[in-house]
Amino acid sequence: MRKTALITGATGGLGEQFATLFAKDGIDLVLTGRNVEKLSAIAGRITEAYGVNVDEVVMDLGPDGSSEALYETLQKRGIQVDYLVNNAGFGHFGALVEMDWQREREQIGVNLIAPLRLTQLFAADMVKRGFGRILNVASIAAWTPGPYMNGYFATKAYVYSFSQAVQEELKGTGVTVTLLCPGPTTTGFEKTAQMKNSNMFKALKVLKADDVSKAGYKAMMKGKAICVPNWFYKFYKFLLRFTPESLNRRLAAWVTAGK
């Protein structure tokens, strides 16, 4: 039986890159996203290039109940998910007291609640079958508090802790959870987050989506717990062990807002 990968946030960036990598290996796809035109275009390109089956599910994972609706949709279609890539996510820039709450709440839904609930739903089925691979996309933002992007950094910190915990819980089941922590990556994230004053894409090493996706895909297939693409950010993670939290906060504020 051919295996199937479910990829959220598949309308571009890392999601599209992951879809291509799975398709090259002959793995069928379920792609989700909010933009109908982009989703259809990517699905058509991949089907034509690699001959795999591509199902599309147009869905916003922000509202309550979205993850359950996605799971039930695939159940009704008779689709078994062997690989799950929780890639959907976005950033919201600004000080907490100035933020729009609805936008912040949507960010929590997409970045935090969706990967948690989808991991729970699909991992349960994977455990019953004795095989599954899950990749949760976090960020180097998971490692420090993030002034002026406080909610985004916090959601990624949650995914960072959650993913490692579940990886440990699933040992011996044939199911693994891999955590991907890239630095700033050329995906269009900065435009969505409206980070015109940010140093994140000016002062830090910017990674290519192609390189990040390949590193994450390889780590996922091997069942590794954590993947940090590029030596620069591996070294950065190492340095954080020795720097005071007050300095880390100030550095993060400078990176996100130039302050």
The residues that are catalytic are: 152, 156
Rounded to 5 degrees, what are φ and ψ at 230?
80, 135
Structure token digits, residue 40: 């259809």
Residue 248: CB atoms within 10 Å: 16
Identify the bridge partners of residue 28 per DSSP, sorted by sequence position: 4
Radius of gyration of the chain from Cα atoms? 18
CB 107 within 8 A of CB 61: no
Which residue is listed with tokens 């508090």? Answer: 145
User: 62: buried, middle or exposed (CB in 10 Å: 19+, 13-18, 0-12)?
Assistant: buried
What's the CA gap between 151 and 113, in Å, rounded? 13
Q: Where are the alpha helices (DSSP H) in the chain?
A: 13-24, 36-50, 66-77, 101-108, 114-129, 150-169, 189-192, 200-203, 209-222, 231-239, 245-257
